[in-house]
Amino acid sequence: MSKLKKNQGEQNEYIFPYIQQPREDRWQGDLFWPYVRKSPSDGEQSQPENGTVHRGEIEGFGTWVLDESGLLKIDGKGKMPDWENTRSSRTPWYLFEDSIQSVQLATGIRSIGNDAFRYCDRLKSIKIPDSVTSIGDRAFFGCPSLTSIEIPEGAVSIGKSAFFACHSLMDITIPDSITSIGESAFWGCKSLTDIAIPNSVTNIDADTFLGCESLAKVTIPESITSIGFRAFTGCTSLTNVALPDSVTSIGDCAFEDCSSLTGIVIPASATSIGDSAFEDCSSLTGIVIPASVTRIGNHAFEDCSSLTHIAILDSVTRIGDEAFSGCSSLESVLIPDSVRSIGIGVFKGCDSLQEVIMPARLKRMAGKKAWLFSERLSGYFGIEKRIIRFY
């Protein structure tokens, strides 16, 4: 069972590493480079004085100028350098990140480098030229004031954690030219309301939209073959999802804690439903497991408290531990003849369960897993004999 850590007292507020901490406390040393800030002991001012213009060179690439209005202009040609936000690899403007409010990139720049604008807390807008083809890893990591961004047609990739914890990001245009969106790309973009994934993308990677609590609409194209680990975990405004027939795998925790999700159609192409894939989807009322699925993972539908009916078609061979545990509204279940393995506690806490229909050969499991269904019931499989029917 996977439970993403949340702040105490705030049910849907996910914790993002270091982002919510005071800036002076974020610096962790080079061993923790993904979250490095400039050290308080650097002894240099972090914000320019009013009226000051700062400028400098980007080694082997071009120049930069930050004016008194907070506009950062970057001039250069080709691929922007990648940085790692460590003492030995920091952007030339790192001392003035707090003053950057907008960014203008010159035509001819082909990429936005790794960590280029990381922790630019006041950055609200950026003009990306058509020449840019890639957005680097963590390029806009922790830019909580960024409200919208338009990625130009011709761009092909969005890096890992590119927009991580951009809390104010409400609108983003992803062109059809994009072929890959990295892990955690939009983690914690809690103001994002809808997203259309272009049909040039084939996978939704791990944590891509984790904690996007305002995301109410997502368009998943026919090109997608897999939904990754925790891809939509904590998307508490998501009410309905249409998975295309191209999807073959629904990863672990893919839709965990999507508490407003009332319906989802699992396509006939899917072969597996991962562990905790729909755990804590407390508004989900019904589900059909298509004939293509062979495995229902551990905790797959645990604590789906509104789930009243489920249809498991005759292809599933394994139902994992506690797969339907805590489905307190579930009234009846038909286990198909294809099932060879049922996990421990698979219907534990299903207190409304009135009928279980199962293959006669599963009788041999009686006594070995006596608490298989509901704790308050006794008899075969931990339920009253009168509600069991064999075929």
Residue 16 has pLDDT above 60, yes or no: no
Percentage of the chain beyond pLDDT 90 is 70
> What pLDDT, on a 0 to 100 scale, did the predictor assign at position 334?
92
Which single residue is written with the structure tokens 């509600």? 387
Query: Residue 100: pLDDT above 50?
Result: yes
The single-letter code of the amino acid at 23 is R
- Band (pLDDT 50/70/90 cuts) for residue 134 is very high
State the Cα–Cα distance between residues 166 and 320, nearest whole angstrom. 36
Among the residue ranges 152-166, 301-315, 365-379, the one predicted with the least confidence is: 365-379
Q: Which pLDDT band, with edges at 50, 70 and 90, does 51 fall under?
A: low
Compute the distance between CA of residue 302 and CA of residue 326 in angstroms, rounded to an integer. 6
Task: State whether the Cα torsion 7-283-300-360 is positive or negative.
Answer: positive
Amino acid at residue number 211: G
Given a contact cutoff of 8 angstroms between Cβ atoms, the answer to whether 257 and 283 are in contact is: no
Quote helix, strand, coil % in the chain, to nearest 5: 10, 25, 70
> Which pair of structure tokens corresponds to residue 387?
């509600």
The per-residue pLDDT of the chain, averaged, comes to 84
pLDDT of residue 365: 56
Alpha carbons 28 and 33: distance in angstroms, whole number:
8
Could you identify the residue written with the tokens 């400039």? Answer: 38
Q: What percent of the chain has pLDDT over 70?
A: 79
Task: Give me the mean pLDDT over the 254-258 stretch.
Answer: 98
| Least trusted range by pLDDT, from 15-19, 28-32, 179-183 | 28-32
Amino acid residing at 379: G
When mean pLDDT is compared across 82-86, 107-111, 243-247, 312-316, the lowest value belongs to 82-86
Confidence of residue 359 (pLDDT cuts 50, 70, 90): confident
The residue-averaged pLDDT of 161-168 equals 98
Query: Longest Cα pair distance anywhere in the chain, in angstroms?
Result: 83
Q: What is the pLDDT of residues 266-289, one digit of tens each?
A: 999 999 999 999 999 999 999 999
